[in-house]
Amino acid sequence: MNKIHFEQLQETLYHQKLENGLNVYVLPKEGFSKTYVTFTTKYGSVDRTFIPRGGKELVTVPDGIAHFLEHKMFEKEEGDVFQQFSENAAAANAFTSFTRTSYLFSSTSELYENTKTLLDFVQQPYFTEKTVEKEKGIIAQEITMYDDQADWRQYFGTIENLFENHPVRIDIAGTVETIQDITAEHLYECYETFYHPSNMVFFAVGNVNPEEMLKFVEQDQLAKSFEAPEPVVRSFPDEPDHVAKKRSELYMDVSKPKLMVGTKCRKTDMSGKDMLIRELASDVTLDILFGRSSDFFTQAYNEGLIDESFSYEFNLENGFGFAAIGSDTDKPEELEKLIKRVLDDMKNNWSITDEQLERIRKKRIGLFMRALNSPEYIANQFTHYNFNEMNLFDVVPVLEGLTTEQLKTAFDDLYYEDGQTIMTIYPMEQSK
Amino acid sequence: MFHKSELQSGVNLYTRQTTQFKTVSVAIKFTAPLTEENAAARTVLANVLEDSSAHYPTRTKLRQALEELYGAVYYTDTSKRGNEHIFTIYAESVNEEYLRNPEVPVFEQLLTLVTECLFKPNLTDGFFDEATVEREKQTVIDRIGSIYNDKTRFANKRMLELIRSGQPASLSASGTEKAVSAITKESLKTTYDQMLSEDTIDIYILGDVDTDQLTDHAKTLFPFMKEARKSVPVTASTKSEGAITAKHIRERQEMKQGKLNIAFSTPVGFKHPDYPKMQMMNGVLGGFAHSKLFINVREKESLAYYCSSSYASHYGLLYIMSGIDAEQEEKTAALIDQQIEALRNGDISDLEMRQTLALLSNSIRSSFDSAKGQIEIYDQYKLLDENFSSDKLIEKWERVTKEDVQEMAALLTKEITYLLSGREAMDHE
C-alpha cells in the first residue's frame, strides 16, 4: 500500500496495485457523510478498432457500442442492478465518454454491500439477444432526446468539422441506425477486451476508511479468477493537422442563432507531466483571452455579441485535442470576426504579460481548491488524469511553475493556418 | 446545524463553523412577495449588482479583483418558493490555510467586496448607469427566451401555464419579457431601496472561520436600515379553482422526440402534516430507478429513456415527465395511469417502501456534503423547524406506511395531459 500525503492540500491518497493489475485508490475526506465510488475502464467511444482479446486481427465494431455496453451491464439474469443499489441506499449511475466508461454509486450507509454490488455487476457480464434487442428502443429515445438539444448538436457538429478521420468525430451513443447492428456477441467481444482489471481503475472518496477499503477490494478480487493481463491493442487512423470542414450550419427550432468556433490542437502525442502542463497552459491562455475579465468579454458583451450562454473549453487526450468557444448570438458574423481577431492579434503579436499570468494563475489555483470540495470531481478527474499518466495532485505545483513561454507553445499548437472551424445553428424561420 | 442570531427584526444571521470544506461561503437571501413585476425588477437588479460597484466601477475591474482573490466566487441569482421571490447573493473563497503565502486575508477581502457591491453600488447621479441597466435587461430577456431551446424544460413550462396561468406556480423567477422591458434606471433604484429596507433577510456564513467574531461584527458589516420588515405569509395555493376536467393538449414544434407530461394537483403542500407521506408516494411512483415509472415505462416496455415524477410541494403539484416517440402517446399515457391506479389499489411492495426510504434518506444526507447544499436545504426546512436535521426528516419517512402511500395516491387529481411533439410525427396521423 502506498500512502501519499499532500501537505498543502491536506489530503492523503492511498493506492495499491493488485495482482490482477487493478489500480485501487482511496481518498478519505473528513466531515463527509457520503462515499462516492467509481469503477472505470479505459474504454470509450473512440475505441472502435482493436484486436479482440485472444484474437490476431483488428476488428471494427458498430458505432455506439461502448455506450450500449454500459447500459447493458446493469441488467442481469436475476434483474436490474439498480434494484439492489436502491435497497442498500445507494444512488447508482454510469457514463460513457470518448475515452472512458465509468460505473459509480454514492451512498451514506452500507458502503461495503454497495462496493460489492459495484464490483460484481461490472465483473459479471450477462448479455442475451433478447435483452440487447429490448435496449435498442430505450437508447433510440436517448439519442432522439439529444438530437433535439441544440447545444449538443453544435458541440458534436464542431468536433465533426474538426476531425477528418479520428473516431472522436462519431457521436458517443452512435445513431439510431448504427445501434441496430449491435449483437450480444459484439458486447462480449468488447467486454472481454476492455474490462480486464488491468485496464481499469477503482476510486473511493469521502467517508471511507482507506485500509479497510483497500483490503475489501483486494479480497474480492482474489476470490475471482481473471486471465493474465494483456495490453490492449487499439488502432487509430492518421489525422491531418488541418480541419475536415471549415464551416457548417444547421437549422433548428431555437430562439436565437448559436455560433461555435472550434480550433484543433496539432500536438497530442503526449502523456504525464508534459500533458498536464499543456492542458493547464491552454486553459490559462483561453482564460486570459476570453475570460470574464478579458477585453474580449467586455467588448463582446457590451456590443450584444454574446450573452450568458458564452463559454469556452479545452480538451486534450492522447490522439486528439481541441478548444471550443461559443455563444448564443444575434450577430454570428460579427462574433466570429471578433473571436478571430482576438486569436489573430495574439498570433501576430504575442502579448501575454506576467501580470495577466499571475492573476489567472491565482484564479486557477483557487478554482482547483474549491473543486476539491467535491468527491465527484476528485474521483472523475483523478481517473481521467490517471489514464493519461498524469496526477491530479500535481495541478497546483504545475500551475505555480507555469511560464508565459509554455503558454505561447500551447497557443501555437492550437491556433495555426487551416486549424479552425465554424459551426452555426440558425432558427428555423431563417432557413431558405 | 446553523447557529442563529437575530441582527434586528426580520434580519437573521446563520453561522456554521466547519472544517469540512476548503472554502468559506456566504449567502445573503432577500425575500419579497412574488409577482411578475417584482420578479423582473429584482432579476435585473441581481444582474446589475453582479456587474460592478462604486469601488470597482466596471465589470472587468470587479472580475479582476475576484481573480486576485484566488478565483473567489461572487454571483447573484433569483428564485421562487411558493409565493415568495428570493434574491440571493452568493460568495465563496478558498480558506487561506490552503494557500501558499497569500498576500491578503482572502475571505475578509471578499466579504468587504460583497458588502460594497450591496451597499455601495455603482450609481451615477443617484441612479444605476443607464447603459448597464439596458444591457442587463436584454440579458434577462435572452435568459427568459432561452428556455425555448430546452424542449424538456419548455414542455414543463407550457404545461404549468396551461393549468396555473398568472399564478406563482407558472411564473418565472426572472419575470416576463414585458415586465423586464418596463424597467427604467429610476424604477430599478426604487426596487433596490425597497429590497434593502422592506425584505426579510437571511445571511449564511459557513466554513472554518471565527463565527463568534463574525457575529459580533455582523451589524457593522450589514448595516440594514431598522425598518419594520414583514415576512411574506407563505400561502401558495394548493388548490385550483372549481371542479376539474382534465385537459388534454397537444402542441407542436420542429423537433424529433415527443415530450409527454402529465400534471396532478394535491391538497398536500410543503407545510401540510402529510408532506413526508407525499414525498414517499412520489418516490415509489417515479423518483428513482427502482420506481414504478422507470421499471414499467422504460425497463419493461422500452418506451422512454426518461420517465419520472417530481413533487412540487410549494405548489401542491406533482408532475410526470417523459420523452417518447410521439406515436406511442396513448400507450405511454395508459401505462402511466396504470401505475397511479396500482398505487391507489395498494399494489405496493415492502421492497418498494424500503428502497424509497433508503434513497430519500441517502439523498438528504448527501446534500449536506456541499456548502451550498447545507445552506439551501436548511433555508427551506427551517420554515418547518428551526432545529431541522436530516435525521428528524428521515424519522418521519420511516413512519410512513403502505396505506399512507395508497391514501396519498388517492389524493391526486389529474389536471392535464400535455404532449409537445414534432410536426412530422403528428402530420401523417
Q: What is the pLDDT of residues A217-252, one digit of tens each?
A: 999 999 999 999 999 999 999 999 999 999 999 999
Catalytic residue among A7, A30, A70, A400, which? A70
Q: How far are the Cα atoms of B104, B129, B140 from residue B186, in angstroms, in the given order? A: 37, 10, 18
pLDDT at residue B427 tops 50: no
Backbone angles phi and psi of B300, in degrees to 5? -80, -40
Specify the number of domains making up chain B: 2
Q: What ipTM does the predicted assembly reach?
A: 0.94
Indicate whether B45 and B112 sit together in one domain.
Answer: yes
pLDDT at residue B187 tops 90: yes
Exposure b/e, A14-51, CB count within 10 A at least 16 = b = bbbebebbbbbbbbbbeebbbbbbbbbbbbbbbbbebb
Whether B141 maps to a domain, the answer reads yes
Distance of alpha carbon A275 from alpha carbon A319, whole angstroms: 12
Q: What is the pLDDT of residues B134-172, one digit of tens each?
A: 999 999 999 999 999 999 999 999 999 999 999 999 999
Please identify, among B171, B203, B221, the residue that sits at the C-terminal boundary of a domain.
B221
Whether B226 maps to a domain, the answer reads no
In this prediction, residue A429 carries a pLDDT of: 74
In this prediction, residue A225 carries a pLDDT of: 96
A141 by Cβ neighbours in 10 Å (0-12 / 13-18 / 19+) ranks as buried
Query: What pTM does this model have?
Result: 0.95
In this prediction, residue B148 carries a pLDDT of: 94
| Residue B2 DSSP class | P
In this prediction, residue B61 carries a pLDDT of: 96
- Can you list the domains of chain A with their CATH numbers? 2-222 (3.30.830.10), 247-430 (3.30.830.10)
Whether B239 maps to a domain, the answer reads no
User: pLDDT band for position B226 (50/70/90)?
Assistant: confident
Contacts of B149 in chain A (CB under 8 A): 150-151, 254-256, 328
A333 is catalytic: no
Please identify, among B221, B238, B255, the residue that sits at the C-terminal boundary of a domain.
B221
Whether B53 maps to a domain, the answer reads yes
Distance of alpha carbon B282 from alpha carbon B25, whole angstroms: 33
pLDDT at residue B428 tops 50: no
Distance of alpha carbon A369 from alpha carbon B23, whole angstroms: 8
Could you tell me if B70 lies within 8 Å of chain A, comparing CB atoms? yes
Q: How far are the Cα atoms of A96, A192, A195, A370 from residue A43, in angstroms, in the given order? A: 8, 12, 8, 29
pLDDT at residue B238 tops 60: no
Distance of alpha carbon B145 from alpha carbon B206, whole angstroms: 35
Whether B230 maps to a domain, the answer reads no
pLDDT at residue B234 tops 90: no
In this prediction, residue B103 carries a pLDDT of: 81
Indicate whether B217 and B252 sit together in one domain.
Answer: no
Nearest to B47 by CA among B23, B70, B25, B74: B74
User: pLDDT band for position B275 (50/70/90)?
Assistant: very high
Please identify, among B173, B204, B221, the residue that sits at the C-terminal boundary of a domain.
B221
User: What's the whole-number mean pLDDT along residues B273-285?
Assistant: 98
Indicate whether B210 and B284 sit together in one domain.
Answer: no
Q: What is the pLDDT of residues A291-316, one digit of tens each?
A: 999 999 999 999 999 999 999 999 99
Whether B400 maps to a domain, the answer reads yes
Helix (H, G, I), strand (E, B) or coil at B257: coil
Q: What is the pLDDT of residues A341-375, one digit of tens each?
A: 999 999 999 999 999 999 999 999 999 999 999 99
- Beta-sheet strand order (sheet of B317-324): B247-253, B413-422, B258-265, B317-324, B304-312
Nearest to B140 by CA among B65, B39, B4, B262: B39
pLDDT at residue B320 tops 70: yes
In this prediction, residue B429 carries a pLDDT of: 38
Q: How far are the Cα atoms of A82, A132, B319 from residue A79, in angstroms, in the given order? A: 9, 14, 28
Query: Closest to A134 (Cβ–Cβ): which among B145, B302, B351?
Result: B302
Q: How far are the Cα atoms of A251, A252, A428, B91, B252 from residue B255, in angstroms, in the given order? A: 11, 8, 11, 39, 8
Whether B237 maps to a domain, the answer reads no
In this prediction, residue B240 carries a pLDDT of: 53
Nearest to A321 by CA among A397, A235, A388: A388
Whether B384 maps to a domain, the answer reads yes
User: What does DSSP say about strands A11-17 and A23-28: parallel, antiparallel, or unpaired?
Assistant: antiparallel
* Higher pLDDT pick, A58 / B216: A58
**Which residues 125-184 on chain B approach chain A with CB closer than 8 angstroms?**
131, 135, 138-139, 142-143, 145-146, 148-152
Contacts of B360 in chain A (CB under 8 A): none
Please spell the DSSP secondary structure of B347-377, one letter per residue: ---HHHHHHHHHHHHHHHHHHTTSHHHHHHH
Indicate whether B264 and B183 sit together in one domain.
Answer: no
Indicate whether B159 and B204 sit together in one domain.
Answer: yes
Could you tell me if B254 lies within 8 Å of chain A, comparing CB atoms? yes
In this prediction, residue B241 carries a pLDDT of: 53
Asked if the Cβ–Cβ distance from A308 to B142 is below 8 Å, we say yes
User: pLDDT band for position A131 (50/70/90)?
Assistant: very high
pLDDT at residue B303 tops 70: yes
Q: Would the CA dihedral through B328, B330, B332, B333 be positive or negative?
A: positive
Q: How far are the Cα atoms of A67, A154, A220, A360, B72 from residue A353, in angstroms, in the given order? A: 44, 33, 54, 11, 22
| Nearest residue of chain A to residue B258 (CA atoms) | A145
The residue whose grid cell reads 445552506 is: B375
pLDDT at residue A29 tops 80: yes
Backbone angles phi and psi of B73, in degrees to 5? -100, 135
In this prediction, residue B102 carries a pLDDT of: 80
Q: What is the pLDDT of residues B350-391, one digit of tens each?
A: 999 999 999 999 999 999 999 999 999 999 999 888 888 999
Domain holding B158, by residue range, is 3-221
Asked if the Cβ–Cβ distance from B256 to A328 is below 8 Å, we say no
Helix (H) or strand (E) segment spanning residue A103: strand A101-107
Distance of alpha carbon A249 from alpha carbon A427, whole angstroms: 11
CB-based contact A381:A329 (threshold 8 Å): no
Helix (H, G, I), strand (E, B) or coil at A92: strand
CA angle B275, B89, A10 (to 5 degrees): 90
pLDDT at residue B237 tops 60: no
| Nearest residue of chain A to residue B300 (CA atoms) | A134
What is the domain-level CATH number for residue B58? 3.30.830.10
Indicate whether B214 and B274 sit together in one domain.
Answer: no
- What one-letter code names the amino acid at B429? E
Alpha helices in B147-225 (DSSP H): 151-163, 177-181, 185-198, 211-221
Indicate whether B31 and B119 sit together in one domain.
Answer: yes
Per DSSP, what are the bridge partners of residue A105?
A37, A92
Per DSSP, what are the bridge partners of residue A316?
A321
Question: What is the torsion angle, in degrees rounded to the nearest 10, for the CA atoms of residue A149, residue A150, residue A156 and residue A157?
Answer: 140
Indicate whether B211 and B257 sit together in one domain.
Answer: no
**Residues contacting B303, CB < 8 A, separation 6+:** A137, A141, B297, B322, B324, B325, B328, B331, B332, B335
B145 by Cβ neighbours in 10 Å (0-12 / 13-18 / 19+) ranks as middle
Indicate whether B61 and B168 sit together in one domain.
Answer: yes
Indicate whether B151 and B275 sit together in one domain.
Answer: no
Indicate whether B256 and B398 sit together in one domain.
Answer: yes
User: What's the whole-number mean pLDDT along residues B169-192?
Assistant: 97
Helix (H, G, I), strand (E, B) or coil at B206: strand
User: What's the whole-number mean pLDDT along residues B68-74?
Assistant: 97
Q: How far are the Cα atoms of A81, A82, A84, A126, A141 from residue A78, in angstroms, in the given order? A: 9, 12, 11, 10, 25
Q: Choose the mutation target among A287, A363, A368, A378 for the interface with B, i.e. most B CBs under 10 Å.
A: A363
User: What's the whole-number mean pLDDT along residues B8-17?
Assistant: 94
Indicate whether B71 and B115 sit together in one domain.
Answer: yes
Q: Which three cell numbers stand for residue A362?
A: 491565482
B352/chain A closest Cα distance in angstroms:
8
Contacts of B323 in chain A (CB under 8 A): 141, 144-145
